Amino acid sequence: MKEHTYTITDPVGIHARPAGLLIKELSRFSSAVTISRGTDSCDGKKLLALMKLRVKQGETIVIKAEGPDEDALIEAAAAFLSAHL
């Protein structure tokens, strides 16, 4: 299992447009992915579940991946988050 921790810098937090793009990016991989904020977590490939986390600016999320391409998934997630959120 690999994981990446990231603090959201976007003033609006994780909102619909980047959330959809993040889900699209993560769905390219076969590994299972979980996104957590505090004690709440969701399937990292489900848009509505991610939106329910209501991640705001300054909050930290943890992305965990487990599977055959977990390294590539975490790299892609880290790059996406740095570029968009």
Cβ neighbours of residue 11 closer than 8 Å, sequence gap 6 or more: 57
CA dist., res. 13 & res. 85, Å (int): 7
- The radius of gyration of the chain from alpha carbons, rounded to an integer in Å, stands at 11
Give the angle subtended at the CA of 49 by the CAs of 76 and 58, to the nearest 5°: 65
Would residue 15 show up in a list of annotated catalytic residues for this protein?
Answer: yes
Single out the catalytic residue among 7, 12, 15, 30. Answer: 15
The residues that are catalytic are 15
